[in-house]
Amino acid sequence: MRVLGIETSCDETGIAIYDTEQGLLAHQLYSQVKLHADYGGVVPELASRDHVRKTLPLIQAALKQAQLTAQDIDGVAYTAGPGLVGALLVGSCIGRSLAFGWNVPAIAVHHMEGHLLAPMLEENPPEFPFVALLVSGGHTQLVRVDGIGRYQLLGESVDDAAGEAFDKTAKLMGLDYPGGPRLAAMAEKGNESTHQFPRPMTDRPGLDFSFSGLKTFAANTIASSDGSAQALADIARAFQDAVVDTLVIKCRRALEQTGLKRLVVAGGVSANKHLRTQLTEFTQRIGGQAYFPRPEFCTDNGAMIAFAGAQRLVAGETTDIQIKTYPRWPLSELLAPQG
């Protein structure tokens, strides 16, 4: 089955074609970073309008890349949530309309399920069951995964997500949008012994996260510094170390609690080099393994939506003609395919 995947949940337009026998056939991505940079963050209305302009041309580019025509597509998968409602509507309307016009089934995909399954696109995919750390600008969650649609939420952020805290702290440091990757690059030049930031919620049991207080601690440290490049690099290093250590501690607890040794890490922050190194070393020490998507599939992309949608379409699951979007859509509400 060849599935066209459409991702328009926020500020990236992602289109891909996935074949259940041959794998990924095409992958197209357009980022709106330059569009939103002047505003210091995503402007929902501008994001929606840009998706309108870019989605169909990218679909045409993906078909050309795969050397296919519309008649070769067997199903359409589109992100229905969570995300920005206007942006979701663009992809959902286009995806559902194309499926209707091409007379093929459509499937509404959960954005975080796409991220969770993104490592399945790699040559060495993880086997079920595993623990997944979903870590991005909007979500920080630990999930036990026993199969597609068989998810148990173990813990989540009670305030700012890790990626959100990265971006907000970067903005306090005067870094341009998107700040998270810029802060991580600056941290490489920082001295690890200059500052010691707290590891929030690690002094108590449980698997929930909280990063807003860490952001405030960073803000106070920035305000009391001399503002030099080295001072900011030292703060960036301390902040990143605190976030990564916190995530590692919680992942260790989750694996101990579930008795599992396979850890999947996905979402935008999973591209962070320091996080990858620490989690890889930790899982190796316990005789386990950490799995990550390739960097281009850490951020929002159409490949993960095409793959996730294909798994459900193959099982016989489809979405009816009525177009619905879910700006807030708990992962726990997903059900396993019945096929």
Q: 160 among the known binding-site residues? A: no
Strand 130-135 versus strand 140-147 pairing type:
antiparallel
d(CA 201, CA 209): 6
**How much is the mean pLDDT over the chain?**
96
Residue 87 has pLDDT above 80, yes or no: yes
Nearest residue to 62 (alpha-carbon basis) of 21, 99, 14, 104: 14
Nearest residue to 294 (alpha-carbon basis) of 125, 76, 62: 125
| Least confident range of 81-90, 96-105, 171-180 | 171-180
Residue 224 has pLDDT above 60, yes or no: yes
Nearest residue to 274 (alpha-carbon basis) of 249, 313, 296, 243: 243
Q: 115 among the known binding-site residues? A: yes
Q: 101 among the known binding-site residues? A: no
Q: Which H or E run includes 307?
A: helix 302-314
Give the pair of three-digit tokens for residue 280. 């890889």
Burial of 244-262, coded b for 16+ CB within 10 Å and e otherwise, reads bbbbbebbbbbbeebebeb
Q: What is the pLDDT of residues 114-155, one digit of tens each?
A: 999 999 999 999 999 999 999 998 889 999 999 999 999 999
d(CA 239, CA 215): 8
Q: 272 among the known binding-site residues? A: yes
Give the pair of three-digit tokens for residue 196. 């010691």
Which regions of the chain does DSSP assign to beta strands (E)?
2-7, 12-19, 23-31, 75-81, 106-110, 130-135, 140-147, 150-156, 262-266, 289-291
Number of helices (H) and strands (E) in the chain: give both, helices first: 10, 10
Give the pLDDT score at 339. 56
SS3 300: coil
Residue 338 has pLDDT above 80, yes or no: no
Give the pLDDT score at 137. 84
Burial class (CB in 10 A: 0-12, 13-18, 19+), 38: exposed
Q: 142 among the known binding-site residues? A: no
Q: What is the pLDDT of residues 294-322, one digit of tens each?
A: 999 999 999 999 999 999 999 999 999 99
Q: Residues 191-200: what's their mean pLDDT? A: 96
What domains lie within the chain, and their CATH numbers?
2-117+297-333 (3.30.420.40), 128-292 (3.30.420.40)
d(CA 298, CA 300): 7
Q: 133 among the known binding-site residues? A: no
Q: Residues 89-100: what's their mean pLDDT? A: 98
Q: 111 among the known binding-site residues? A: yes
pLDDT band at 220 (very low <50, low <70, confident <90, very high): very high
Q: 167 among the known binding-site residues? A: yes
Q: 300 among the known binding-site residues? A: yes
Using alpha carbons, list the distances in angstroms from residue 57 to 3, 93, 203, 234, 278.
17, 15, 51, 44, 40
Q: Residues 84-100: what's their mean pLDDT? A: 98
Q: What is the pLDDT of residues 240-274, one digit of tens each?
A: 999 999 999 999 999 999 999 999 999 999 999 99
Give the pLDDT score at 40. 87
Give the pair of three-digit tokens for residue 27. 């992958």
SS3 326: coil
CB 86 within 8 A of CB 42: no
Q: Residues 95-109: what's their mean pLDDT? A: 98
CB 144 within 8 A of CB 128: no
Q: 180 among the known binding-site residues? A: yes
Q: 334 among the known binding-site residues? A: no
Q: How far apart are the first and last CA of the chain?
A: 15
d(CA 317, CA 113): 15
In residues, how long is the chain?
339
Give the pLDDT score at 337. 82
Nearest residue to 276 (alpha-carbon basis) of 290, 286, 287, 262: 290
In eight-state DSSP terms, residue 287 is T
